[in-house]
Amino acid sequence: MCPDRQILSAWLDGEIDAPWDRELEDHVGSCADCQARVERLESVRRSLLEAPVPDWRPAMERVRSSLVSRGLASERAVPVWRRRVALPLPLAVAAVALVMVLAGALTVSVIRSSFGMVRITRQGYGGTEIRIAAPVSDLEALLQSIDKDTGSPEGVIVLPKNVRLVPVGEPRMGKEAEFPRRAP
Amino acid sequence: MIRRRLMVPLLLAAAAVAARAEDMKIAEALKALLDNALEVRISARILPAEAAKESWTAESTRLTIPGRSVKVRLEGDNVQIYLVCTPYRQENGDMLLVSQGQVWFTQPPEKTAKYFSTFSSIPVTYGEKVLFFPLGLSETAGQDKDYFNIELEIVIVPYEKDAAH
């Protein structure tokens, strides 16, 4: 008795377990009809493997047009910002709270920078780092206030009149000890 | 609606508090700047060749912070001297004085202008004297009796607010 087409197809695909696969192999080897059917099945499989992948887009477009004509889909895709998202209420509340906190932090940051944020950090080597998030004009005003604090002069020294100042050499600069004339 | 009405005053109040806090910080910054401030004392001396003659002295004390330059200009009949001193605090706490001098002068009878510039980077300690001879350093002996030597003395000391007033 010859096996039906489904069993032969399964046997070709290696889906028949022992000992039945051996029995089928023996039968196909001795049955001319089954050999012919197996050859046809193999031919179909080869043609499917060798055929190019079909282009599904026209078919999808036809389906889409059909849905649109029936009012089951819109003509254009819905933009992301118009899409509705269903969220659990606690998650929505948490999201709103997070947005409010971030907005508050941003507002405070803007206010702080507009009024001149100052950060003073003591450095390990004894120095001080001063960061002032303010316009340069404000910083300059702060530094000028130091000058006012001591009432220091403008830094112009008027030399006496009728004094003959003539160069006697190149300008020199150094520690007092480097000039023997002044050494104690 | 009530919530919206409450929101605006709350935001304004927060802004006012932030502004007040920053005012306080500006004052703190000024104090911190003064704590790190340095006094740069610059003395200009004109020494006549003859020891018997009286010397002329002028002083200028400027306040600065490390890295900020102090400028002094000396104006004379035939000379203009610019001195720019910038103290830096090194990592080990020592001071480094970076000085730049520019000298413009005219010399009769040609009335031609001459220009000298000099630059120096000198490690100093507080109170240590650095001298700048913008017109060179002359030997007293053999000089013209009418000759005047000019020197600038630069000293850096920490700023003490109580001592300044």
Q: How far is B70 from chain A (nearest CA, A)?
A: 8
Express each pLDDT in B36-55 by its tens digit. Answer: 788 899 999 988 766 666 78
Which has the higher per-residue pLDDT, A75 or A120? A75
The reply to whether B130 and B105 lie within a common domain is yes
Which has the higher per-residue pLDDT, B60 or B14? B60
The reply to whether B52 and B25 lie within a common domain is no
Within 8 A of B107 by CB-CB distance, chain A residues are: 166-167
Q: Six-digit token pair at A125?
A: 């080597």
The reply to whether B82 and B8 lie within a common domain is no
B74: left (phi over 0), alpha (psi -120 to 50) or beta: beta
Q: Tally C-beta pairs within 8 A across A and B.
A: 199
pLDDT band at A128 (very low <50, low <70, confident <90, very high): low
Q: What is the pLDDT of residue A108?
A: 78
Within 8 A of A110 by CB-CB distance, chain B residues are: none
The reply to whether B61 and B134 lie within a common domain is yes
Express each pLDDT in B102-117 by its tens digit. Answer: 999 887 776 778 888 9
Report how far residue B93's alpha carbon sits from residue B84's, in angstroms, rounded to the nearest whole number: 22
The reply to whether B112 and B139 lie within a common domain is yes
Residue B117's CATH number: 2.20.130.10
**Chain A residue with minimum CA distance to B21:** A112
The reply to whether B136 and B116 lie within a common domain is yes
Domain ranges of chain A: 5-50, 89-150
Q: What is the pLDDT of residue B19?
A: 53
**Chain B residue with minimum CA distance to A158:** B75
Whether A171 shows a pLDDT value over 80: the answer reads: yes
Whether B161 shows a pLDDT value over 70: the answer reads: no
The reply to whether B105 and B153 lie within a common domain is yes
The reply to whether B57 and B73 lie within a common domain is yes
For residue A18, what is the DSSP state?
T
Whether B164 shows a pLDDT value over 50: the answer reads: no
Show which of residues 65-84 on chain A sit within 8 Å of chain B, judged by CB atoms: none
Q: What is the pLDDT of residue A151?
A: 46
- Tell whether B26 lies on the interface with A, counting CB pairs under 8 A: yes
Is B149 within 8 Å of A179 when comparing Cβ atoms?
no
Instruction: Name the residue range of residue B67's domain.
Output: 39-164
Express each pLDDT in A20-44 by its tens digit. Answer: 888 888 998 899 989 999 999 989 8
What is the average per-residue pLDDT within A126-147? 62
Q: Six-digit token pair at B74?
A: 């000396």
The reply to whether B28 and B43 lie within a common domain is no
Report how far residue B29's alpha carbon sits from residue A146's, in angstroms, rounded to the nearest whole number: 11
The reply to whether B21 and B92 lie within a common domain is no
Express each pLDDT in A88-121 by its tens digit. Answer: 889 999 999 999 999 998 887 776 655 545 555 6
What is the average per-residue pLDDT within B7-14? 64
Q: How many domains does chain B have?
A: 2
Alpha-carbon separation of residue B20 from A39, B25, B116 (angstroms): 93, 9, 51
**Chain B residue with minimum CA distance to A130:** B29
The reply to whether B79 and B157 lie within a common domain is yes
Whether B156 shows a pLDDT value over 90: the answer reads: yes
HEC states along B94-148? CEEEEEEEEEEEEECCCCEEEEEEEEEEEEECCCCEEEEECCCCCCCCCCCCCCE
Q: What share of chain A is helix, strand, coil (3-state, %, to 5)?
A: 55, 10, 35
The reply to whether B51 and B128 lie within a common domain is yes
Of the listed ranges A31-40, A77-86, A111-120, A171-180, the one predicted with least confidence: A111-120
Q: What is the pLDDT of residue B130?
A: 94
Tally DSSP H helices, then E strands, for chain A.
Answer: 6, 4
**Mean per-residue pLDDT of chain B:** 78
Which residue, A178, A166, A163, A174, is CA-closest to B103?
A166
Q: What is the pTM of this model?
A: 0.53
**Chain B residue with minimum CA distance to A142:** B30
